[in-house]
Chains A and B, each alone.
Chain A
Amino acid sequence: MSKLDFSRRTLLKSSAAGLTLLSGTGLSRLAHASDLTVGIVYVGPRDDFGWNQAHAVAAAALKEVPGVTVVEEENVPETIAVEKSMESMINLDGANMIFATSFGYYKPFVLDLAAKYPDVEFRHAAPLWTEGDPKNAGSYFGYLDQAHYIDGIAAGLSTTSNKLGFVAAKPIGTVLRNINSFLLGARKVNPDATVQVIFTGEWSMPVREAEAANALVDAGCDVLTCHVDGPKVVIETAESRGIKCCGHNASQAPLAPNGFITGAEYKWETIYKMFAADLAAGEPLPNFTGGGFDVDFVQNTPYGAGATEQAIAVADAAREEVKGGAPIFVGPIKKQDGSVLLAEGESFDNYEPALDQTDYLIEGVSGSIT
């Protein structure tokens, strides 16, 4: 095994050296903008009804763009394996742009490779790029909390027990922000609403997600939503327990014909096509791209049978407001520990940088980060 590894690494090294030589002699691969090759790495299967599917749908749309070749690899773990996958896309498939779509790919794998291959553009799907990181690396992100806020509004108008359940994977910033926004949406229309969160600790662990969903229903929640890679199990469990649900990442509407309200979806297609167009035009790519409803980076799943007419009307109106810049985080908001996040009259802009560093749950959410 170690022998094989060694020879593979030497092969990679020597081919990398060869390519550096090529680009040194003026044959930069980016010169031919017409044959752009994009490599996309997924952490799970492309059709998981969730995070990976949302990216794969966008990749399929990108393939339709003339002159763009897309190479994909799925089920790549957040280990040294992703570095090998990306290197083989660069060296064997000639990729000049890499989309690394899972949170744990960034440090150190994307950063290392970006330093090693300065001609290749790396973009990573989480707001992690900071000043000082390689210039050919960057982050792109959809602010899904805006869509979760709309979900929360629809959920807050659908609940009778005023208890909403949230199955979450890991307590990282983006997940916590989605939970907080979901609660704020629910509280906006239903001041008695609370959100109970259960962390599973893994991005994908179907049996534990089902257990968590059942535990939330047993605790009295009558609307469930989630932030895990593949929401299929949570949505199906909610449906089989006869309660309502909101989706996450991609459309799960077909899984819950009776109880589906709406869902928070990414629209990566917008970003991927934008990047491809920029590269083809020879323009520099931004290191940080992010947005929500206003730039069409996120969307809500079309309403299902679980949505009442009132919920639809209020949610639609609220989405227009958010699109126009109305803030989601409006004071007074306290954190779980009682400290004040926003006082009366204060608010956060929806793209407030402090929100990217969310490491707290707000009052009204029960569940602990640690």
Chain B
Amino acid sequence: MSQEPGLMTVLLAMFAGAIRVSTPFLFVSLGEMLTEKSGRINLGLEGTLVFGAMSGYAISYHTGSPWLGVLVAGICGAGFGALHGFLCKLPKVNDIAIGISLMLFGTGLAFFFGKAYIQPSAPRLPSISFGGWSDHPGIRQALEINPLFLLGIVLAIFLWWALKNTRYGLIIRTTGDSAPAALALGINVNKVRLLSTMAGGFFAGVGGSFLSLYYPGSWTEGLSSGQGLMAVALVIFARWHPIYCFWAALLFGAAGALGPALQSIGISRGYHFFNAAPYILTLIIMIASTSPRRSLKGAPGELSITK
């Protein structure tokens, strides 16, 4: 290592951290974005994330195939999404309350079934090396990229394109902006929302499997530490825009790496402050970007928080 690692080391660590840590944020926020675009909020994605992490790890352990684990985690997530979609369809049911109960339910269920999987070691997802061109070990390490991260980027671009340009995208947006208008067009509002929530749950489940199968790469009960909830906040911050979701996820990943990176180069005073960076960042951006005179730009009109 060079003698003046300072800024470069921190920037490299933040870059590497952004790539390593952002994937679950990305998947959960894309899932939540899709659900909210259809007019519902699913706060249960934290529970879905944790359950996805547990089920993915368990399946990978039993079958030896981490990719099968990712798939099953997604399917479990879709199951939670279906439950949310079904319950919210019932009259006078509040989607936020259902979301919170599903968050606790998913976490609790994951802890219950996950007991047996804390000890064993499951096969993990492979990574692809993009750093072969560099002889700097830090850069090589940073460019060990998991395919799920790339898949997340593709998904973000696809969702952005599909919501804007396809018939299905239009149906989802119409449902989310005005249920009466969608009904007048002959759209089955509940079905659209059910499917959007299921798809959102699927993404969140996949995001969870990344936590247990790649980084940090094992199943423990404290694994998520609130990342699912932060990702939900991140959707508002990203203005319901898939591409912004990607940038926001990267930013949160980088901010999370800031604390340890600064300590590693010897700037260790006030590490509690730097560890809180992602949360402080959220607050600052939220405060800076809201205005009492207009509603949030891009917010679906049917959301219970903006109505």
Contact = CB atoms under 8 A, between A and B. Distances in A.
A259 B133 CA distance: 27
A211 B220 contact: no
Interface stretch (A23-31, A106-114, A229-237, A277-285): A229-237
B220 A206 contact: yes
B79 interface: no
A206 B225 contact: yes
Given A198-B264, A204-B222, A208-B259, A214 B118 contact: no
Contact of B263 (A47, A199, A237, A255): A199
A208 B268 contact: no
A209 B268 contact: no
Given A210-B215, A368-B268, A368-B269, A254 B259 contact: no
Contacts of A209: 216
Interface residues of A, number: 42
Given A214-B16, A214-B20, A254-B121, A236 B266 contact: no
Nearest to B17: A211
A146 B260 CA distance: 27
Interface stretch (A86-94, A136-144, A215-223, A318-326): A215-223
Interface residues of B, number: 43
Contacts of A302: none
B271 interface: yes
Contacts of A254: 121
Nearest to A170: B272
Contact of B216 (A198, A206, A241): A206
Given A200-B275, A201-B271, A230-B220, A367 B263 contact: yes
Interface string B221-234: 11101010000000
Given A45-B221, A200-B260, A219-B5, A207 B227 contact: yes
B9 interface: yes
Interface in A184-227: 196-202, 204-212, 214-220
A49 interface: yes
A215 B263 contact: yes
Contact of B12 (A210, A218, A236): A218
Contact of A75 (B138, B221, B261): B221
Contacts of A85: none
Counting chain B CB atoms within 10 Å of each CB, the highest count among A200, A219, A237, A368 belongs to A219
Contacts of B223: 206-207
A241 B227 CA distance: 25
Contact of A205 (B222, B261, B271): B222
B156 to A, nearest CB: 21
A218 B215 contact: no
B265 interface: yes
Interface string B197-218: 0000000000000010001111
B27 to A, nearest CB: 15
A11 B121 CA distance: 44
A211 B275 CA distance: 11
A95 to B, nearest CB: 23
Nearest to B274: A201
A196 B17 CA distance: 20
A219 B256 CA distance: 18
A370 B267 CA distance: 11
Contact of A208 (B9, B118, B141, B256): B256
Interface in A318-370: 366-368, 370
B58 to A, nearest CB: 15
Nearest to A212: B260
A73 interface: no
Contacts of B164: none
Contacts of A160: none
Contacts of B118: 45, 47-49
B1 interface: yes
A44 interface: yes
A49 B269 CA distance: 30
B187 to A, nearest CB: 39
B275 A201 contact: yes
A367 B121 CA distance: 32
A161 to B, nearest CB: 9
Counting chain B CB atoms within 10 Å of each CB, the highest count among A49, A211, A232 belongs to A211
Given A198-B260, A218-B9, A254-B121, A367 B222 contact: no
Given A48-B118, A199-B263, A211 B21 contact: yes
Nearest to B258: A211
A232 B266 contact: no
A34 interface: no
A310 interface: no
A237 B111 CA distance: 23
A79 interface: no
Counting chain B CB atoms within 10 Å of each CB, the highest count among A214, A237, A241, A255 belongs to A214
B268 A367 contact: yes
Nearest to B217: A236
A240 interface: yes
Given A44-B221, A47-B118, A215 B216 contact: no
B62 interface: no
B119 interface: yes
A236 B218 contact: yes
Contacts of B211: 207
Interface string B259-295: 1110111101111100100000000000000000000
Interface of B: 1, 5, 9, 12-13, 16-17, 20-21, 111, 115, 118-119, 121, 137-138, 141, 211, 215-218, 220-223, 225, 227, 256-257, 259-261, 263-266, 268-272, 275
Interface of A: 44-45, 47-49, 75, 196-202, 204-212, 214-220, 230, 232-233, 236-237, 240-241, 254-255, 366-368, 370
29 contacts: A45-B118, A48-B118, A49-B119, A197-B263, A198-B268, A200-B275, A201-B271, A205-B222, A206-B220, A207-B227, A208-B259, A208-B260, A209-B216, A211-B20, A212-B260, A212-B264, A214-B20, A215-B261, A216-B264, A218-B13, A218-B137, A219-B1, A220-B1, A233-B220, A237-B217, A241-B141, A367-B263, A368-B263, A368-B268
